[in-house]
A = this chain, B = another copy of it.
Amino acid sequence: MLRVGIIGATGYSGLELVRLLLDHPLAKVVYATSRSYAGKELNEVFPGLKGHFNLRCEEFKLEKCVEACDFVFVALPHGLSEETVPKLIKAGKKVVDIGSDFRLDDLSQYETWYKRKANRPSDLKPIYGLAELNGDKVRGAQLVANPGCYPSATILGLAPLMDKNLIERQGIIVDAKTGVSGSGRSLSLSSHFSEVTENIKAYKVAVHQHTPEIEQELSKLGSGEKVVMNITTHLIPINRGILATCYGKLKEKKTTKELIDLYRAFYLEEPFVQVMPEGVMLGTREVSGSNSCMIGLKVDERINTVIVLSVIDNLGKGAAGQAIQNMNLMSGFEETLGLPRVGLIP
């Protein structure tokens, strides 16, 4: 039984890790830290765990963590993982970092997009943990950078097109919509119920920090030519779910059917990506609570543009689910172990 630690267990990603690992046959959460709730039982913080799971939240202590755990998930605010993770790596632990600190190859991008100076030790070799594209590298990795929620949906949505060089790499537009749990459990007016409900609102227009992450990974596919794109993010009054509506200018004419066939071939072996038949409407709820990504697409021949719809659960495939998928691969387990594939409907 893999002994698992969660650094930052009382945020929503942390809780989702706990929930999903409860039913994992080969892993068990044995160590959990929280700055805000240190000393409290996790099931006091989340009463739904009462009777089913118990563990006292601690303040993070390196020694204790190293002793207690074989595998560590780090779910800390941006900028904090960078300090903690290298120590765990040095101590020989396998780590999935759910934050952004290890996602970007070019450290200068952190200043541009995150407004902070990166401070990553140069000997760390994090692997970008989108298993559908990077599975082999993940298997051998000691440190995996778990992709962001928008990047997960967007990259999976566009990868087959990039791989075959079918769309223009300059000017891709991604109009993304997210539920509120993606903003986490920290209080802010923009997550205050009365400000969010009965509202649709754009935010971080043309400045979202996930932009370079998406560009970086898409640029690696196909021709390798640099991708420059826009992501405009919108807050929607639901709890879980991301829909990325991606608009790509086709280089040559393609029919909807041709592209669907291409996507099916590309994702044929992937248990967590499903490509929908033409005309099937996709909703975020289809994947709510699961680790699945569902993709639909349509060519608008009038403007020679392909519209790709990609949905995930931002806490599932967009965070904790994907982290466990990575853990499975890094630990030599079956990739799908303990991960729900079907969403909670209705």
Binding site for B on A (CB under 8 A): 12, 15, 19, 22-23, 46-53, 170-171, 173, 175, 177, 179-181, 183, 185, 187-189, 191-203, 205-206, 228-230, 232, 234, 236-241, 243, 245, 247, 249, 274, 276, 280-290, 292, 294, 296, 298-300, 302-305, 307, 309, 311, 340-346
B194 touching A191, Cβ below 8 Å: yes
Q: Which of A173, A183, A228 has its CB near the most chain B CB atoms (within 10 A)?
A: A173
B228 touching A303, Cβ below 8 Å: yes
User: Which residues of the other chain, B, contact A344 by a CB distance below 8 angstroms?
Assistant: 19, 288-289, 344
B286 touching A289, Cβ below 8 Å: no
B47 touching A230, Cβ below 8 Å: no
B47 touching A282, Cβ below 8 Å: yes
B302 touching A228, Cβ below 8 Å: yes
Main secondary structure of the interface of A (DSSP, over half): mixed
User: Which residues of the other chain, B, contact A177 by a CB distance below 8 angstroms?
Assistant: 177, 200, 234, 236
A48 touching B294, Cβ below 8 Å: yes
Q: Across chains A and B, which 3 residue pairs bring their CB atoms closest together, nearest first?
A: A48-B286, A201-B283, A175-B175
A181-B346, A200-B241, A230-B247 known; 8 new pairs, CB 8 Å cut-off, are A48-B286, A48-B290, A48-B343, A185-B192, A192-B192, A197-B239, A198-B284, A206-B299
Question: Nearest Cβ distance between residue A211 and chain B, in whole angstroms?
Answer: 8
In the complex, what distance in Å separates the CA atom of A296 from the CA atom of B201?
11
In the complex, what distance in Å separates the CA atom of A334 from the CA atom of B283?
35
User: Which residues of the other chain, B, contact A340 by a CB distance below 8 angstroms?
Assistant: 23
A206 touching B298, Cβ below 8 Å: yes
- Which residue from B15, B193, B195, B307 sits with its C-beta under 8 Å from A197? B193
B194 touching A284, Cβ below 8 Å: no
A199 touching B285, Cβ below 8 Å: yes
Q: List 11 A-B contacts (CB under 8 A).
A: A12-B194, A19-B345, A48-B287, A51-B341, A177-B236, A180-B194, A183-B194, A199-B241, A200-B236, A228-B302, A230-B302
B300 touching A193, Cβ below 8 Å: no
A202 touching B243, Cβ below 8 Å: yes
In the complex, what distance in Å separates the CA atom of A304 from the CA atom of B193?
35
A230 touching B305, Cβ below 8 Å: yes
User: Which residues of the other chain, B, contact A185 by a CB distance below 8 angstroms?
Assistant: 189, 192, 194
A192-B185, A194-B185 as given contacts; A237 in contact with B237, CB under 8 Å: yes
